[in-house]
Amino acid sequence: MAKAAHGQRRTIRGDRWLTVAALRGYVEIQPMGETRRRARLGDRLDRVGDILTTGPQASARLEVDLAIGFVSVAENSQLQIRTLSITQNGARITELFVLRGQVRLRVRPLTNPDTRLEIHTPAGVSGVRGTDFGVTVALDGQTGVATLEGRVVASAQGQTVSVAADQQSLIRQGEAPTPPAPLRNDPTLYIEVLRVTDTTDEQNRPLVQVAGYTDVVNLLRLAGEQVTLDRNGRFDMFLPIVANRRIEALVTTPLGTIQTYELVVP
């Protein structure tokens, strides 16, 4: 069964869609009420509740109808149609829900003052009127917002901040967006602890402690699993040691800059 669209549903009026314009790796789509299947070039997401999911080392690029803009969806991400509608004065309302992962939007200037394109996440909403920006959404809903060009309005808990070009902000669940800070777009990973411990897991494998930090708006994966960062971007994980004593780390910024690291356990 397809999942229901997150948040309030709205009736689609007019011919609206997002077209799959590019694919890499394994990407799934699940039209509302239908069975999920592998995405193909030219597929359309055109109903409230339609879902696109990218797997590991996969990505997709969606074209918003009439070339309003493009949405790039990074690996291990899930995007759902929340609203596609046309108002009586011709304004186009596009609301996308990002449950997890990273997306980047490149949107041309919108001529109709009532036209809206918004990214909703478990923590808040980011709206644009012509810009280049990206968001990250962690497992706990924490949302990083970064603007390269133009301006993004980030809202949560009844409060709104304007994230201008070369700025970034963070939205934690249940909190207002943080004041805009200078854009870093920095995927650097700092490792402070990497050691074999005296403890084992259920399969009697020695555990490796990995601790460090990255920019708090980034996403971090260790050994294929997403890591929850604290309020300062710090983490402290225990992972089972593998035969080659190597751990892959992957850092993704809100703008989609990706850096891969190979950690060698001493």
What are the two backbone dihedrals, phi and then psi, of residue 17, each rounded to the nearest 5 degrees? -165, 165
Closest among 101, 191, 81, 189 to 144, alpha carbons compared? 101
Q: Rounded mean pLDDT of 89-111?
A: 93
Instruction: Tell me the C-alpha distance between 108 and 69, whole Å.
Output: 6
pLDDT at position 15 is 83
Instruction: Tell me the C-alpha distance between 231 and 138, whole Å.
Output: 12
pLDDT at 10 over 50: no
What are the two backbone dihedrals, phi and then psi, of residue 62, each rounded to the nearest 5 degrees? -110, 135
Alpha carbon distances (Å) from 188 to 185, 212, 258: 9, 11, 10
What's the pLDDT tens digit per position in 57-79? 999 999 998 778 999 999 999 99
pLDDT band at residue 48 using 50, 70 and 90 as cut-offs: very high
pLDDT at position 63 is 95
What are the two backbone dihedrals, phi and then psi, of residue 12, each rounded to the nearest 5 degrees? -80, 125
pLDDT at 7 over 90: no
pTM: 0.90
pLDDT band at residue 139 using 50, 70 and 90 as cut-offs: very high
pLDDT band at residue 14 using 50, 70 and 90 as cut-offs: low
What are the two backbone dihedrals, phi and then psi, of residue 137, each rounded to the nearest 5 degrees? -130, 115
Q: Rounded mean pLDDT of 129-146?
A: 95
pLDDT at position 113 is 86
What's the pLDDT tens digit per position in 145-181? 999 999 999 999 999 999 999 999 999 999 999 999 9
Q: Rounded mean pLDDT of 9-20?
A: 68
Q: How many residues belong to the chain?
A: 266
CA 96 to the chain's CA centroid: 11
pLDDT at 2 over 50: no
Q: Which residues of 64-77 are buried (b: 16+ CB within 10 A; e: fewer)?
A: bbeebbbbbbbbbb
82: left (phi over 0), alpha (psi -120 to 50) or beta: alpha
